[in-house]
Amino acid sequence: MSILQKIEQEYFNPEISFQASKSSGPGGQHVNKVNTKIILLFNIPQSNLLQDHEKAILLRKLTKKLDKEGNLVVTSQDSRSQIQNKKKAIKKFYGLLKKAFHKKKPRIATKPGKAAKEKRLKAKKIQSQKKQYRSKDW
């Protein structure tokens, strides 16, 4: 099974841990009483579901989202509901994984076509004629 298939099937859920804390989002005074902010933690170096080269890719590409122990940290505090924030955090987590493992399509250098060359030369001729007409001696 490829890594992208594992991501699509939410294969990493058993290795995800969650923490809840007080949020700074909408909710008024209710925010001060209830832990609605969700912090998702995924320990990359100790994951049994990832191979070594996949761990290396994640550690290299997601360095700004990692803490000192190598935990991938994703937070969500948009909603007033802890359950909704948990769903959003999981969605963000799998989005980050998908983006990290996405391979860029290599750019193939091409030469300009005949029509493009002619168009460029025609534009140059028009510009040179404008400048010629601006001179004193025409």
The partner residues of 39 in beta bridges, in order of sequence, read 19, 75
pLDDT at site 33: 75
Which residue would you say has higher pLDDT here, 32 or 49?
49
pLDDT of residue 26: 62
Q: What is the mean pLDDT of residues 42-52?
A: 88
Strand 71-76 and strand 37-43: the pairing is antiparallel
Contact 79, 85 (CB under 8 A): yes
pLDDT at 127: 95
From CA 123, how far away is CA 117, in angstroms rounded? 10
Residue 18: burial class (beta carbons within 10 Å; 0-12, 13-18, 19+): middle
Give residue-wise pLDDT tens across range 60-107: 998 898 998 888 999 998 888 889 999 999 999 999 988 988 888 999
Summarize pLDDT for 21-40 with one digit per residue, the tens. 887 756 666 666 778 889 99
Rounded mean pLDDT of the chain? 87
pTM more than 0.85: no
Please report the beta strands in the chain, taking only residues with DSSP state E, as ranges in sequence order.
16-21, 37-43, 71-76
Between 27 and 109, where is the model more confident?
A: 109
Cross-strand bridge partners of residue 76: 38
